[in-house]
Amino acid sequence: MTAFVRNQWYVAAYAHEVGRELLGRTVLGEPILLYRAEDGRPVAMADRCVHRRFPLSEKPSRLDGDRVVCGYHGFTYGTDGVCVSVPGQQRIPRTARLATYPVLEQDSFVWVWIGDREPGDTLPPRAPWLDSPEYTVVCGMEPLEADYGLLVDNLLDLSHETYLHGGYIGTPEVAETPITTEVDDKTGVVYVSRHMADAACPPFYAESTGITGRITRWQDIEYHAPCLYLLHSRIAPVGTPDPSADGSDPDAFHVEVVYGITPSTEKTTYDFWAVARDFALEDQRVSDFLRENNHTVVMQDVVALNVLQKALDTEKAGYQELSINIDTGGLAARRILARLAAEGAERAEAAAR
């Protein structure tokens, strides 16, 4: 299993999922209750009542103003997690309080901080396209019955598009074109690029952009370990000039594919996916097509990774993998995740001493 990396921000939900209904999510094995206070602030606290551990996100638990009332025997908590009322007695035990989590909204996500220390000035990595008037976004979330490391591997090696996603986003050129990989150990970011000068246009882009001929297709990945994956996708008819030095690129189509990768338990993961485009902004048909098509692609990965996890579960300990050039990005990501997890474990040990 891929070790959890603590003391990090993780996507717990989309902002639009967190409202005046109680929402339960499990992040790094911690059950978390999410809701919005009456003033609009998101609140995140432990999703287990201190009394008999009833999940506060489950009916008939409910909100009473900003307070959460446990649906089992009525213990009631404020937004700071402190119990303010118990049934049948005036005295409230001093230990009757729920752990709360640092929480913030950024780029249309609700992020929670999972760790032993406070985040201080540390902010989550950015995905500004998801909350920008210059882009139109379709998005969703699929739960995965697999170790989050399998999703990281999958996303860092897009050669699988040719095989697993043929007829959607895969064409032969993806698997045929070599990648370049760079790693910034200090920031924990892995960059993987694949620039295809002359490639078939897969239906995903032909339908959405209206391009009928061959394309220049660039895939530039940034993986911000452990939690956020960005794919900058540039699509342009062959012969379109490269972007100018100031970054302007008016004749190309740009799609920003974003994944929030959130380990839930050791072998389950939340796969938050979003596709932001800078063209056909008002075109509902394009939005519907991209939502449907990308959902299909995500499900192809989900099904494959669930199968892979089951297969790995029955492997004998010490099984061998064989890696080739296409795996460079994925291997770099594994190294960074292992380092971040080890640093987190050391810090936790030091704090316990």
Residues that bind ligand FES (CB under 6 A): 49, 51-52, 54, 70, 72-75
Shortest separation between residue 158's beta carbon and ligand FES, angstroms: 47
Give the CB-nearest residue to Fe ion.
301
Shortest separation between residue 49's beta carbon and ligand FES, angstroms: 3
Task: Collect contacts of 335-341 with beta carbons under 8 A, ≥24 apart.
Answer: 335/183, 336/183, 336/185, 336/188, 336/190, 336/225, 337/2, 337/3, 337/5, 337/149, 337/152, 337/225, 337/226, 338/3, 339/185, 340/5, 340/8, 340/188, 340/225, 340/226, 341/3, 341/4, 341/5, 341/6
Q: Of the two residues 301 and 327, which places its CB atom closer to Fe ion in the complex?
A: 301
213 close to 178: Cβ distance less than 8 angstroms = no
Question: What is the rounded CA–CA span in Å between residue 299 and residue 328?
Answer: 25
Give which of ligand FES, Fe ion, none residue 102 binds (C-beta under 5 to 8 Å, depending on kind).
none
Q: Of the two residues 33 and 333, which places its CB atom closer to ligand FES in the complex?
A: 33
270 close to 143: Cβ distance less than 8 angstroms = yes
Alpha helix locations (H) across 47-167? 148-156, 160-164
Burial class (CB in 10 A: 0-12, 13-18, 19+), 93: exposed
Q: What amino acid is encoded at 102 in this protein?
A: P
122 close to 274: Cβ distance less than 8 angstroms = no
Give which of ligand FES, Fe ion, none residue 301 binds (C-beta under 5 to 8 Å, depending on kind).
Fe ion
What angle do the packed helices 148-156 and 328-352 form, to 10 degrees? 150
Q: Of the two residues 70 and 261, which places its CB atom closer to Fe ion in the complex?
A: 261
Altogether, the residues listed in the chain come to a count of: 353
Q: Of the two residues 51 and 347, which places its CB atom closer to ligand FES in the complex?
A: 51
Point out which residues bind Fe ion (CB under 5 A). 301
Give which of Fe ion, ligand FES, none residue 74 binds (C-beta under 5 to 8 Å, depending on kind).
ligand FES
Which residues pair with residue 222 across a beta bridge?
191, 230
Shortest separation between residue 118's beta carbon and ligand FES, angstroms: 28
Shortest separation between residue 113's beta carbon and ligand FES, angstroms: 25
Q: Of the two residues 54 and 111, which places its CB atom closer to ligand FES in the complex?
A: 54
326 close to 179: Cβ distance less than 8 angstroms = yes
Q: What letter would DSSP give residue 135?
A: -
Shortest separation between residue 85's beta carbon and ligand FES, angstroms: 10
Q: Of the two residues 30 and 301, which places its CB atom closer to Fe ion in the complex?
A: 301
Shortest separation between residue 38's beta carbon and ligand FES, angstroms: 22
298 close to 292: Cβ distance less than 8 angstroms = no
Give which of ligand FES, Fe ion, none residue 72 binds (C-beta under 5 to 8 Å, depending on kind).
ligand FES
Q: Of the two residues 58 and 283, which places its CB atom closer to ligand FES in the complex?
A: 58
Shortest separation between residue 61's beta carbon and ligand FES, angstroms: 8
Q: Of the two residues 69 and 302, which places its CB atom closer to ligand FES in the complex?
A: 69
Shortest separation between residue 72's beta carbon and Fe ion, angstroms: 42
Question: What is the rounded CA–CA span in Å between residue 10 and residue 110?
Answer: 8
